[in-house]
Amino acid sequence: MSLSQVYFERICEQIKELERRSLETIEQAAEACAQRLLRGGVIHVYDTGHLVSRELINRAGGLAAFSPLHFDLQVTNTNPYREAQGVGAQTTPETVRCIVRAALDRSRITPDDVLIIGSVSGKTPFPVELAIQARARGVYTVGLTAHDYSSRLASEHESGKRLFEVVDLVIDNAAPYGDAMLTLDGVETAFCPASGIGAAVALWAVVAGIVERLAAAGKPPTILASINRPGGMERYKQTIEQYKQRGY
Q: What is the pTM of this model?
A: 0.93
pLDDT of 53 above 80: no
Going from N- to C-terminal start, the domains of the chain cover 3-246
Under 8 Å between Cβ of 210 and 35: no
pLDDT of 64 above 80: yes
Residues in the chain: 248
End-to-end CA distance of the chain: 47
Estimate the crossing angle of helix 195-216 against helix 3-38, to 10 degrees: 30
| Ranges assigned E (strand) in the chain | 43-47, 66-68, 114-118, 140-145, 169-172, 180-184, 187-193
Q: What is the pLDDT of residues 66-109, one digit of tens each?
A: 999 999 888 888 888 888 887 777 789 999 999 999 999 999 99
Residue 62, SS3?
A: coil
Long-range CB contacts for residues 87-92, cutoff 8 Å, separation at least 24: 91/125
Q: How would residue 49 be classed by pLDDT, with cut points 50, 70 and 90?
A: low
Residue 63 CA neighbour count, 13 Å, CB half: 29
Q: How would residue 4 be classed by pLDDT, with cut points 50, 70 and 90?
A: very high
Taken in order 127, 130, 136, 137, the sign of the CA dihedral is: negative
The CATH code belonging to domain 3-246 is: 3.40.50.10490
Q: Are strands 187-193 and 114-118 parallel, antiparallel or unpaired?
A: unpaired
Q: What is the pLDDT of residues 138-163, one digit of tens each?
A: 999 999 999 999 999 999 999 999 99
